[in-house]
Structure 1
Amino acid sequence: MNWIKQTACFLVFMCLAGTASVSRAQTWAEFFKQKKTQKKYLLQQIAAFEVYAGYLKKGYQIVDGGLTTIKDISNGEFKLHDAFISSLKQVSPVISKDTRIAEVIALQIGILKSFGAIKSSRFLSTDNLTYVSLVAEGLIAECYTDLEELLLVITSGKLEMKEDERLKRLDKIYTSMLDKSAFTQDFCNHTTQLIRQKASEQNEISELIRMFHFKE
């Protein structure tokens, strides 16, 4: 995380100040196309939590109700992965109902959405898009590490741990994901500001061209 935090703002500025060529943003499917099978599985697990994708309403219900709410929703239209639900049934109620589990998933989805919004900007040149993708890939790779550990913590039989040990591991994962979410917000907000400046400059140029042709 440190190398990202130290270089992000400077490199974003340099990238956005470079070439102005417009490229079509890659889709998230293309972005994850080359990932390993295990990471694709984890991404599917995240996608299953698109209960958060309404997220003002359903998202807060998840945070308030913990995994009980998620489990109930899984019996309806959202249908969470059976293996994941089964693993939750095998751990203690203290773990399975801890709202931080749902929040970790929600934060991961938020990170994906934030980078997705940035990558869709038509004002990102090929170089800009490449850089943003590299930052996103590095950050999301770290998120996957957290999610892998989360699955170990909440899945019975994967690790022999007492309840208090699982809670400590969960707290560490939660804190780590909060840190990544905060960085994502800072990075995306700063990048968005620069994109808006670039868009404003482009609009001014277009207006000058329009006025010039009008006078002719």
Structure 2
Amino acid sequence: MKNRKIILVACLTLCSILFSKPGLAQSTEAQQLLINVEKLSQLKNILRDMKKGYTIISSGYNAVKNISQGNFSLHETFLDGLMLVSPEVRKYARVADIITAQKDIVSEYKRSIKNFQRSGLMNAGELDYIGQVYAVLFAQSMDNLDDLTLVLTAGSLRMSDEERLSSIDRIFQDTSDKLTFLRSFNHQAATLLLQRKGAIADMQGTRELFKIK
């Protein structure tokens, strides 16, 4: 019985030591310290992310600010410059030559088709064919004017002055070739009319000579 009392006392003493307030306090402080360390680590990550975000925003703002103040790079300045048209290009003599050639194409084909219609020496099929040739030629020449407008319009094409002048020369040559073709075509048609007039005149002369009604 006495031994049992001793064992009970010993157990109570051990429990008292293990669950006393100082030991519990130390355990609680250790747990709180771990929590604080974890929170500190999370705070550092948050601050790091905030710094990254600020850097990105700051870089974007500086880029916009540079653009608004005209601090463009050389590459951007060069490309934007190609959108402009210099006075030398606008005043290039070939520009006026192209417009003059286009006016000649329109006036000459209109005058010729009227003469062919009034002559009475061409049938409907021939007049229709001539009209189709004129229509295609006119449409292609108008395409040249559209190309010329693009070359001379600021903000339309990125081209150097040399490239613009070269394009104008090409447009002039093509327009001139179309005008040359039109004049050759009209000359051939007019020659055909003269031949038919001559044939009719010869026929009438023969009839008068032999008094054929």
Give TM-score, length-normalised by structure 1: 0.52
Q: 2:189 aligns with which of 191, 195, 210?
A: 191
Q: 1:16-35 alignment to 2 at 5 Å?
A: none
The one-letter code sitting in structure 1 at the alignment partner of 2:187 is N
The one-letter code sitting in structure 2 at the alignment partner of 1:138 is V
Matches of 2:110 and 2:185, distance apart in 1: 13
Aligned equivalent of 2:90: 96
Aligned equivalent of 1:202: 200
**TM-aligned CA deviation for residue 100 of structure 1:** 0.8
Q: 3-state DSSP class of the match of 1:141?
A: helix
Q: 1:117 aligns with which of 100, 111, 116?
A: 111
Matches of 2:202 and 2:163, distance apart in 1: 59
Select the structure with the greater relative contact order (CA < 8 A; seq sep ≥ 6): 1
Matches of 2:172 and 2:199, distance apart in 1: 40
Q: 1:107 aligns with which of 101, 114, 130?
A: 101
Matches of 1:187 and 1:94, distance apart in 2: 36
**CA offsets 1:9-59 (integer angstroms, 9 cap, x no match):** xxxxxxxxxxxxxxxxxxxxxxxxxxxxxxxxxxxxxxxxxxxxxxxxxxx
The one-letter code sitting in structure 1 at the alignment partner of 2:143 is T
The one-letter code sitting in structure 2 at the alignment partner of 1:192 is A
Matches of 2:197 and 2:112, distance apart in 1: 13
Matches of 2:178 and 2:135, distance apart in 1: 12
% same residue: 27
Aligned equivalent of 2:133: 135
Greater Rg over alpha carbons, structure: 2
The answer to whether the aligner puts 1:126 opposite 2:124 as a matched pair is yes
Aligned equivalent of 1:175: 173
Please, which moves more after superposition, 95-104 or 117-126? 117-126
> Over aligned residue pairs, what C-alpha RMSD do you find?
2.2
Q: 1:17-56 alignment to 2 at 5 Å?
A: none
Change (3 A) 1:147 1:117: same
Matches of 1:206 and 1:111, distance apart in 2: 37
Q: 1:5-20 alignment to 2 at 5 Å?
A: none
Matches of 1:206 and 1:151, distance apart in 2: 55
Q: Which residues of structure 1 form unaligned runs of 5+?
A: 1-89
Give TM-score, length-normalised by structure 2: 0.53
**TM-aligned CA deviation for residue 177 of structure 1:** 1.0
Q: Which has the higher helix share?
A: 2
Q: Which residues of structure 2 form unaligned runs of 5+?
A: 1-83
Aligned equivalent of 1:154: 152
Matches of 1:92 and 1:209, distance apart in 2: 70
Q: 1:76-95 alignment to 2 at 5 Å?
A: 91-95=85-89
Matches of 1:175 and 1:161, distance apart in 2: 20
Matches of 1:110 and 1:124, distance apart in 2: 24
Change (3 A) 1:116 1:199: farther
**TM-aligned CA deviation for residue 211 of structure 1:** 5.7
**TM-aligned CA deviation for residue 116 of structure 1:** 1.9
Matches of 1:192 and 1:183, distance apart in 2: 14
**TM-aligned CA deviation for residue 209 of structure 1:** 4.9
The one-letter code sitting in structure 1 at the alignment partner of 2:151 is V
